Amino acid sequence: MVEQPDVDQPSDADRAQASPASMAKMWKFVTNFAEKSGTYLHPQREITEFLVIGLAKHVDELGRPLCPCNFYEDKAAEAKQSTWICACEEMQKYKYCH
């Protein structure tokens, strides 16, 4: 078995970046999407939690779950294009989320 490197745990400050309602919504979304689509969440829950925090933060800020794994010069413009809306094209292609 390959040992996974240590990953920082999400802190309360990290979680406070998004509303509890959006956090709950995004946890439900990623869990249901993985189950229904045959895709996989990261085996380290901490990585998935950081992703969920980013998605929830974007829902609060932009109204859409823009993938938090990429850099955007203009997040609002990217959200309108829908290319990087979760589940993004990379997720759909490779069936794996960070």
The pLDDT of residue 42 is above 90: no
User: What is d(CA 89, CA 14) in angstroms, rounded to the nearest whole number?
Assistant: 26
Mean per-residue pLDDT, 49-75: 92
Span of 8-22, 28-42, 76-90 with lowest mean pLDDT: 76-90
Whether the CB-CB separation of 66 and 60 falls below 8 Å is answered with no
Q: Identify the H or E element spanning 22.
A: helix 20-37
pTM for the complete prediction?
0.82
Mean pLDDT to the nearest integer, 67-79: 89
Question: What structural domains does the chain harbor?
Answer: 18-94 (3.90.460.10)
On the question of pLDDT at 63 being above 90, the answer is yes
Asked if residue 77 has pLDDT above 80, the reply is: yes
Residues 8-26 have a mean pLDDT of 94
Please identify every residue annotated as catalytic.
69
